[in-house]
Chains A and B, each alone.
Chain A
């Protein structure tokens, strides 16, 4: 895994952004910015990939999940080489939105996409991606939307902390240089962005013939085909470093929809002790191995509320890196609870990984709720007025 390069080492690791010590200066601290590391720096220049940034906590290279609020909860973003598992809500309304924001973030940053689904054609999925918000005006409008629960005095000229007015406002640069964008769920992504992007689709009904004999100890054929497909793409396009002629390194974003549902040929949702109940866990194990050795990040949505054997859910959670559960209030008794009336559901962060670390980045906020406004998906902590002094 990528790690922070220690001072003085000349090896360029993909996680480090602190410029390595060059031979000429006496000090190893160099000021970043327009005056930084001038032309006499003879150390290796690190190629930074668009849309990624190193984590300040553990040095991993992070990509954005498409929702800046979720990035913050995960400690900056999704680390490259890891799996983000989303446990779908009961009627599968909000988890496709997170899935599509992840893919849209890939398109906006210029990453390569790999979309796998057994339910919908990947081309149709890409047509329905939300449009990114790139203007300054829209960004201001959504800042007000997101932060309107704070006291109104904080928006006008600051009275007590007036020196903070000196700090520069967050600049809105070009599309590819920002980390984390906001998306408008009511509009579709422009067609030219999709056409300019590089994507691969895997639609299971097209790839598989239905009369394959399945041995009980192996993976279901759908999973085997998907793993082969992913491995081919990683190898051919050089995401694992096997193609050294590639001039510009890029990140592969993999999205797998509804993994574990009967449409993939897996019967963990149908029976408690099916014939190949280890198929999904084996798939996740092999997938994680593929991801760890390449510059890719993966999002998987899984209908865990349908899985009959709870032990499988526990195994799946252990085999994934970040696990987020969505629980929507539709149809449950919480819908009429007046405390939850502003929100559409709860988000449970079930697991955060320890990557090259002894501790993980667990946030101290445990109860989080989300709401899908007309355009924006926000994650907030309800009952915030109870925390304010």
Chain B
């Protein structure tokens, strides 16, 4: 799955750390997928003081936005080495907005020309930043590759978020050859690892109870044939259930008897006039 990282489009975040560096993986992915490479160097001369080459206005963010406005079709991969450098020089919100604008350009229906899929591959050194920016960029990323490994073997934990679906994750062991090509491998040998807990089978709480939760067939029949205490026969029940004509209006008939006083003025009958 490492080789098909860019097929999904969007932002691919490559998180590395001091022990497991990701720049070689970045170069390997770029080498695998790029047909035509354009290289912008903003590190050597960020403010363009030497004025040697054509300066893109606005620095790296301006260059990103210029790529936004391109009109030629075809899939484009933008590799950023590194996002940490951008995060240290720009406010995080600006960077997030710019990355989102670039990586979601293909889903805009307003574009007149059919623009190919844009993937942004960014390298993030997660130890340089707090949980805030890392979390914010992770939530924006379509795919997240976290580098790790054991005993000299590097692994990539790939978390793929497709929209409106459950995220899928996968761990891939790999190594980078000297010519920056990617070599996918199986995991390290398992015998040397300490054995984990034996798999506990799920416990059904309804076994071994001191009371009975289920009814046997005979008991169910006995329950069904039980006569209910109010002794209505089923015919009378059906007769009552059948809707009678005029049942929507209910009438109450009352015959006043001798003790009723219909005098509205003096209902308690205690006035002595």
With a cutoff of 8 Å between Cβ atoms, the chain B residues found around residue A306 in the complex are 132, 135-136, 139
Per-residue CB proximity of A212-234 to B under 8 Å, as 1/0?
Answer: 00000000000000000000000
Q: How many angstroms between the C-alpha atoms of A33 and B14 in the bound complex? A: 66
Contact count band on A: 35 or more
Question: Known: A160-B228, A262-B93. Is A205-B101 also a contact (CB below 8 A)?
Answer: yes
Partner of A262, one of B92, B108, B130, B161: B92
For residue B198, CB closer than 8 A to chain A, the reply is no
Tell me if B132 and A338 are in contact (CB < 8 A): no
Per-residue CB proximity of A235-278 to B under 8 Å, as 1/0?
Answer: 00000000000000000000000000111011101111000000
* Interfacial residues of chain A within 78-121, with CB under 8 A of chain B in the complex: 91-93, 96, 118-119, 121
Tell me if A210 and B97 are in contact (CB < 8 A): yes
Stretch touching chain A among B16-24, B35-43, B49-57, B164-172: B164-172
Q: How many angstroms between the C-alpha atoms of A267 and B237 in the bound complex? A: 69
Partner of B237, one of A91, A118, A162, A271: A162
Question: Known: A92-B139, A262-B92. Is A269-B167 also a contact (CB below 8 A)?
Answer: no
Question: Known: A124-B107, A205-B101, A303-B139. Is A96-B93 also a contact (CB below 8 A)?
Answer: no
Tell me if B241 and A261 are in contact (CB < 8 A): no
Q: How many angstroms between the C-alpha atoms of A124 and B110 in the bound complex? A: 12
Partner of B164, one of A93, A263, A303: A93
For residue B178, CB closer than 8 A to chain A, the reply is no
Partner of A93, one of B97, B135, B166: B166
Partner of A267, one of B92, B166, B167: B92
Partner of B108, one of A92, A118, A121, A266: A121
Tell me if B96 and A121 are in contact (CB < 8 A): no
Question: Known: A162-B241, A330-B166. Is A270-B93 also a contact (CB below 8 A)?
Answer: yes
Tell me if B161 and A119 are in contact (CB < 8 A): no
Per-residue CB proximity of A121-164 to B under 8 Å, as 1/0?
Answer: 10110001000000000000000000000000000000110110
With a cutoff of 8 Å between Cβ atoms, the chain B residues found around residue A205 in the complex are 97, 100-101
With an 8 Å Cβ cutoff, the count of chain B residues facing the other chain is: 32
Q: How many angstroms between the C-alpha atoms of A123 and B108 in the bound complex? A: 10
For residue A173, CB closer than 8 A to chain B, the reply is no
Per-residue CB proximity of B94-111 to A under 8 Å, as 1/0?
Answer: 101100110000011100
For residue B91, CB closer than 8 A to chain A, the reply is yes
Tell me if A119 and B100 are in contact (CB < 8 A): yes
Q: How many angstroms between the C-alpha atoms of A163 and B203 in the bound complex? A: 42
Q: Looking at chain A's contact residues, is the secondary structure mostly helix, strand, loop, or mixed?
A: loop
Q: How many angstroms between the C-alpha atoms of A92 and B202 in the bound complex? A: 30
For residue B131, CB closer than 8 A to chain A, the reply is yes
With a cutoff of 8 Å between Cβ atoms, the chain A residues found around residue B228 in the complex are 159-160
For residue A58, CB closer than 8 A to chain B, the reply is no
Tell me if B139 and A271 are in contact (CB < 8 A): no
Tell me if A270 and B97 are in contact (CB < 8 A): no
For residue B133, CB closer than 8 A to chain A, the reply is yes
Tell me if B135 and A269 are in contact (CB < 8 A): yes
For residue A166, CB closer than 8 A to chain B, the reply is yes
Partner of A165, one of B107, B135, B241: B241
For residue A38, CB closer than 8 A to chain B, the reply is no
Count chain A CB atoms within 10 A of each CB in B101, B135, B241 and give the residue with the most.
B135
Q: How many angstroms between the C-alpha atoms of A92 and B93 in the bound complex? A: 19
Tell me if A210 and B94 are in contact (CB < 8 A): yes
With a cutoff of 8 Å between Cβ atoms, the chain A residues found around residue B131 in the complex are 308
Tell me if B161 and A263 are in contact (CB < 8 A): no
With a cutoff of 8 Å between Cβ atoms, the chain B residues found around residue A91 in the complex are 161, 166-167
Closest to A269 in B: B136
Partner of B132, one of A93, A160, A272, A331: A272
Tell me if B164 and A121 are in contact (CB < 8 A): no
CB distance from B197 to the nearest CB of A (A): 13
* Interfacial residues of chain A within 311-365, with CB under 8 A of chain B in the complex: 330-331, 338
Closest to A92 in B: B139
With a cutoff of 8 Å between Cβ atoms, the chain B residues found around residue A128 in the complex are 164
Residues of A at the B interface (CB closer than 8 Å) are: 91-93, 96, 118-119, 121, 123-124, 128, 159-160, 162-163, 165-166, 205, 210, 261-263, 265-267, 269-272, 303, 305-306, 308, 330-331, 338
Name 18 interchain pairs, CB-CB below 8 A, sorted by A: A93-B166, A119-B100, A121-B108, A121-B109, A128-B164, A160-B228, A162-B237, A166-B241, A205-B100, A210-B94, A210-B97, A261-B96, A261-B136, A262-B136, A263-B93, A263-B100, A269-B135, A308-B131
Additional A-B contact list (20), CB under 8 Å, known A267-B92, A269-B136, A303-B139:
A91-B167, A93-B164, A121-B108, A121-B109, A124-B109, A162-B241, A165-B241, A205-B100, A205-B101, A261-B136, A262-B96, A262-B140, A263-B97, A263-B140, A266-B93, A270-B133, A271-B132, A272-B130, A306-B132, A308-B132
Instruction: List the 8 closest A-B pairs by CB distance, nearest first.
Output: A270-B92, A262-B96, A262-B93, A270-B132, A308-B132, A338-B202, A269-B136, A262-B136
